[in-house]
Structures are given as structure tokens and as C-alpha cells.
Structure 1
Amino acid sequence: MVGIVGYGVYIPLYRIKVEEIAKVWGDDPETIIRGLIVEEKSVPAPDEDTVTISVEAARQALKRGQINPERIGAIYVGSESHPYAVKPTATIVAEAIGATPQLTAADLEFACKAGTAGMQACLGLVKSGVIDYGLAIGADTAQGAPGDALEYTASAGGAAYIIGRKDLIAKIESTYSFTTDTPDFYRREGMPYPRHGGRFTGEPAYFKHVISAAKKIMEKEDLKASDFNYAVFHQPNGKFYLKAAKKLGFKMEQVKPGLLTPMIGNTYSGATPIGLAATLDIAKPGDRILAVSYGSGAGSDAFIITVEDGIEEKRELAPKVREMIKKKVYVDYSLYAKFKEKLKMA
């Protein structure tokens, strides 16, 4: 039996409202809010990046996991905003949390599903007996070009999961991936901002992959939407999230706990892991959860997770997601542009 031993989340304190961004570019904020179902998003401080977010999330996961970090045999950090082009984020995280040098560590990149790819890698290593514990992190400080639609949603945050065999808070029953070469979103080396395929982003990208992965794993385990207490999907915006849930037959009460985009935006590699963490914050022993990520390029990882008795005590050992979301300080566009280094010297 392999699953989640501990989990932790970090969301930056700063926020910017959709209205503030719309005011600068002359857009109608109500149209943006209704269209994307996003009201505000998180903004990283000048001294925050994927490394600092990953370290904080990992420390919270260790508090819940109650394990010695030296027992971690693998650390994978999934992100599309690693601060170094050549130097791994994972080794910095390992050093910061006190993990032993006797481990494997690597950075993963698959747009917004790199964090769940790390979870799968840790799951395989633990299940095969190669390591006792693995740490998988999904974190980003996402970029959107000034005036681009992404600027309304691209945010910052991350989640960390310790995968192991003992003292589980949730068992990973099954996983399934669906992957194709669908380049709806990309950023070339050296370019500061990504580009996206516009009308291709929904179909054949997001919906094809999320829905295919979800359907296939449910078919594989002979389950249907009504067999789950909760479901979490990748959330580039609230509209896509709710539409995918409806297409798969899930009701609002099943998916609402994991829907965080309206309050913090799209945290990219952190999106599904943070949504899952928010769901674990309220789930009861025996509850079954479906979690499906999505990464442009393109692919989805799906997981069926069953909550164990250990969650009742462990989740109180670190801040819960919605508690973290409530703590916020608003910035205007000028500070936001400064924090995100959108202002370039001529």
C-alpha cells in the first residue's frame, strides 16, 4: 500500500484584482471575471521564486508527514519557471530541508503537469522498494506577457507531497496518463513569455486530455462519477474546470472544494496539487478523490486516491489551504509589474 504520507502548500501573500489589470489595458473587468471565473490572483514577492515556494511547501509537508528528511530518497520539482536554466531547483530544496546527500534529485518540466509527473515517479520508486520516501513538488511563478489574456490568470504557488508506505493519510489506488503532441502552449529558450494557441487551448488540448484521462482511469477501475466524494482538475481558469467536471458527470459539491482559481489564479504546476490539498483539508477517512492534472504540450495524469484514518490528526499540523488564501495584501499594477520584473531597462 503506497500513498501520501504528508502534504504541504505555499501561496504568496500578495494579490492583484482582475479589475486592476483590466483598468490598465482598457478591458471590461466584468466580462473577464464572467468569462474566466477569476476574480484575483496571487503575486510572488520580489524575493520569491519556484525555489522558495518549493522549500516552504516541502517544510509544511514534513510537518504533516512527521518523518526525518534524511529518509527521503528522491526529490522531484516540477515547474515551468525554474530560476536557473542550468542548475536544479531540487538540489536546493534538498539542502534547505536537511535531506541526506544520498538521494536522487531532478527538475521536471511538462508545463502544468510536471508536479503530478513527480508524484508518479515517486510512487513507482516507493512501490518497487528502491526508496522509502519520495518528495514530489509542483510549483510555479507563472508568466504572462503584458496585455495578454494570461496576465489575468498566471499566478504563483506550490504544493509538496511525501509519498511512502507507512502512516498514510491517503492511499493512491491507481494512476493513468494520457499524452499527445498538441503544442497549444509553448515558450522557446530565452523568451521571457510563453505563447498560446488561442482557440486550440480548449479543444483539442485541455478538454481532450483531461476528460480522456479521467474516463480511462474510471473505466480501468470500474468506477463512475457518483462513486467519488470529490474530484479535482487542472484549473487554467474556473470556466474550464467547471465545464470539464460537468462533462464527466460530477456535481458542484464534489468539485467546489478544489476550485481555487477564482481566488488565486492559475498556479500552473501547483494547480492540481494545491486543489488536491484543499480537498484533503476537508475530506474524511474513506472518501474517494479523483485528481486530474493537465500540461500543455500535452498530457494529463489522473489519480484515484482514498483517504485514510491518519488524516484526521496530521492535517492539523500545518496551515490549511483556505486559511493561507485568506491571508493577503493587495497590490496595484505598478507594484505587480515591479515584482514580476515586467519593467525592462531600455
Structure 2
Amino acid sequence: MDIGIVSYGAYIPRYRIKPEEIGRIWGVDGKGMGKGLMVTQKSVPGVDEDVVTISAEAARYMMARAPGVDPHDIGALYVGSESHPYAVKPTATIVAEAIEATPVMTAADLEFACKAGTAGIQACMGLVASGMIKYGVAIGADTSQGAPGDVLEYSASAGGAAFLIGSKNIIAKINKTLSFTTDTPDFWRREGQPYPLHGGRFTGDPAYFKHVTSAAKMMLKEMGTEPKDYKYAVFHQPNGKFPTRVAGMLGFEDAQIKTGLLTPVIGNTYSGAVPIGLSAVLDKAEPDDRIFVTSYGSGAGSDSFDLTVTDEIKKYQKKNAPTVEKMIENPVYIDYGMYVKFKKMIIMPGG
């Protein structure tokens, strides 16, 4: 049985803040900081936006592009995020209700740092392949956190994407998926803490690069392929520098990652990073295009996917929802004061 992506949708808030505006507050060269991270601006959730609203909007776009799919045929819905608004109360059930999919057989919130969304895709694949469900929805979304003045504040942003996984009318067949996981404590946030802590440079070589390259090399070996066999490649993008470097380490060209590399213009959407990048690629993909995807989540692990775009993409109702490129257009820039208000870093009495 072929398993793959039947539909997808992404959502990115329209508000933006630039590194130089953040640096202005902290007395540092914000523009230089952004240049080092390869981030020119980042998305900011509106005052009334959170992981629930971002996930619901992405899921609605996903369903709008698949008008022939009955929401009641969705048997599983998973939302992967580091920013669930409730510690006890699932995001997934709210989103399922928003797309009129309730009651679903199974719904849950997933956490694995920035790869919770791709973990959801794997879970849905297994349930569809077993025959337990007809369709599954996997969402990766975040309103990511960065402590004031910390380097993370220059990149941590907001956005997400949703994928409908099934075995009929698939627009992109998932040829294979695999994972590489270890206990590597490079980034964490304890219960009740508002901001994460990180291991600085430790988050690079022994964490991100080890896991991404290990999973990617395993996939290339399993499939008997080389980087040149893929039209597109999407890697987890905590900044613009890491995915560019890891692509080169693996033998991929800049042209292969260009379409899905969005962090330079929207920042690091954490669990949404790879899903939004893959959405941007699917916006432009043609039949028979091969796509290589490897996510990364601190703690630490990477999920790798090999996909082939099918002829179904020709009749897919892509126009029924905005493309990622369209959502990036016409941003609304805000200053640090408005940013603090939108991120609820200060709360009005009684608010």
C-alpha cells in the first residue's frame, strides 16, 4: 500500500520584527546578530494567536484543498508543538472540532522539541498502513519562546503546517521514513518555566549536526540514492546557517534547499519549521520530483523522509488556500513594545 500526503496547508502570522529592533533594546548590534544567524526578520503571533489558532488555520487550508475528503473519515489528529496553550487540555481536540472531524478515533498532543510535527506524520503513516484509520492529520506548529536578550529571541518565531496522510489520491508518496535518536540534552524547558535553556555551541556539532547527518546518511543508504537524485531538500532550520551548512556536508546544492529555506524571512518556527518548508516545496513541485526531508528535535532526534511527487499534484486544488510564498508577502512590521505585548511578556492587570 502506498502511503503519502493527500493534502496540506500552512499558516504564518503576518506580523514581523527585525533583529535590529530587538538589538536596539538590548544595546547590541542586532543587524549583525541577524546576519550571523542568517535571519533578516521573524514572524510574531498576533495578540489573539496561539498554537490552537495557527494549527486550526493550517488544517482548514488543508481541508479546503481536499474538498472530496469527508472530515469524519479522519481517524487520527496529532498536534506537535513546544507551545501548547494548555498544560492539561489537548490542542488536538480543539483543532479536530474546528475542522468538523470529531469524534476522531485518536487525538493527542505530541512533544519532541522541533520534530514533534514529523513524528506525527510517522504515527499517521503507521495507522493508515495498518488499516485502523482512513486518514490521519499531523500538524507541526509553534509560537516559539526565546528569553528577552537571549540569542534565541532573534530567531524564535511563529507558524505551522498541517498534513493529511492517507493511501488514496496522494500528491506525494512517502517512499520511506526512518529516525535517529539519542539522549542528548542540548535544549530544554522545565515545567512552569517560560523560556528554554540551551547548551550554546553544544547544540550544534554533537546535537543538530550529528543527528541530522546520521538520519540523512541512513536514508541515502537505505534508498540507494545520492543527493543529486532529489529536486528539493528540506532540513530543520533553527537559523539560516545550520541547514545551509548541513546540506553542504551531505552533498546537497544550495539550489536544492532554496525553496524550503524560510528561516531567513520568517525565523525559526520550531515544530513548524520543516512542515512549513515542505509546504513551500509542495507549492512548486511537479510530478516525479523527488524530495528529501530531515527534521531535528532537541533532546535529541531526527526524522528523515524520502518522497516522490505523483501525477495527482496536477489536479490538486492548490489554489483553494494561500501558498507559503503568498503568506510571506506584505508583512506588518512592529516595534519591540508591540512585540512584548503580542508575546504576552507583559500582561495588563486583570488581563
TM-score above 0.5, yes or no: yes
Q: Does the 8 Å CA contact 1:119/1:136 hold for their aligned counterparts? A: yes
Q: Which residue of 2 aligns with 1:44?
A: 45
Deviation at 1:312, TM superposition (A): 2.6
Cα pair 1:71 1:100 within 8 Å, conserved: no
User: For residues 267-278 of structure 1, what are the structure 2 equivalents within 5 Å?
Assistant: 267-278=269-280
Separation in structure 2 between the aligned mates of residue 189 and residue 149 of structure 1, nearest angstrom: 22
1:85-128 CA-to-partner distances (Å, cap 9, x unmatched) read 00000000011110031421000000000000000000000011
CA–CA separation in structure 1 for the residues paired with 2:242 and 2:198: 16
Describe the superposition over 1:62-107 as per-residue Cα deviations: whole angstroms up to 9, x where unpaired: 1122311111000000001000000000000011110031421000
Counterpart of 1:316?
A: 319
SS of residue paired to 2:183: coil
* Alignment correspondent of 1:257: 259
Matching residue within 216, 221, 242 for 2:223 = 221
User: Which stretches in structure 2 are left out of the alignment for 5+ residues?
Assistant: none
Letter in 1 for 2:118: T
**1:343, distance to aligned residue in structure 2 (A):** 2.1
Residue 26 of structure 1 deviates from its aligned partner by 1.4
Is the alpha carbon distance of 1:60 and 1:345 closer, same or farther for their aligned partners in structure 2, counting shifts above 3 Å? closer
Distance 1:339 1:90 in 2: 23
Q: What is the identity, as a one-letter code, of the residue corresponding to 1:76?
A: Y
Q: TM-score, normalised by structure 2?
A: 0.97
Counterpart in the other structure of 1:132: 134
Question: 2:344 pairs with 335, 341, 346, which one?
Answer: 341
Residue 344 of structure 1: CA displacement?
A: 5.6
- Sequence identity, in percent? 66
Cα contact 1:137–1:160 (8 A) shared by 2: yes
Question: 1:79 maps to which residue?
Answer: 81
- Structure 1 position 27, deviation (Å): 1.5
Give SS of 2:141's match: strand
Q: Look up the equivalent residue of 1:53 and give its one-letter code.
A: I
Give SS of 2:83's match: coil
In 2: Cα distance, 1:344 partner to 1:62 partner? 35
1:184-242 CA-to-partner distances (Å, cap 9, x unmatched) read 00000000100000011101000001111111011011011011111000000000010
Superposition deviation, residue 317 in structure 1? 2.3
Root mean square deviation, CA, Å: 1.1
| Contact 2:77/2:92, CA 8 A, preserved across alignment | yes
Quick one: which amino acid aligns to residue 125 of structure 1?
A: L
SS state at 2:298 partner: coil
Quote the Cα distance in structure 2 between the aligned partners of 1:149 and 1:319.
32
Distance in 1 of aligned mates of 2:102 and 2:149: 45
> For this pair of structures, how many residues does the alignment match?
346
| Aligned match for 2:329, one of 311, 326, 329 | 326
CA contact (8 A) 1:139 1:157 kept: yes
TM-score (norm 1): 0.98
Give the Å deviation of 1:177: 0.2
Q: Provide, for residues 138-161 of structure 1, a one-character-per-residue CA deviation record: whole Å limited to 9, x for no partner.
A: 000001110000000000000000
Choose which of 164, 168, 177 in structure 1 pairs with 2:179.
177
Q: Summarize deviations over 1:320-339 as a string: whole Å, max 9, x none.
A: 10111113211000000011
* Aligned match of 1:237: 239
- The answer to whether structure 1 residue 279 and structure 2 residue 268 are counterparts is no
SS at match of 2:131: coil
1:119 has 2:121 as partner:
yes
Note if contact 1:80-1:111 (Cα within 8 Å) is conserved in structure 2: yes
Deviation at 1:318, TM superposition (A): 1.5
Alpha-carbon distance in 2 for matches of 1:196, 1:139? 20
CA contact (8 A) 2:294 2:303 kept: yes
Q: Which runs of 5+ in 1 are unaligned?
A: none
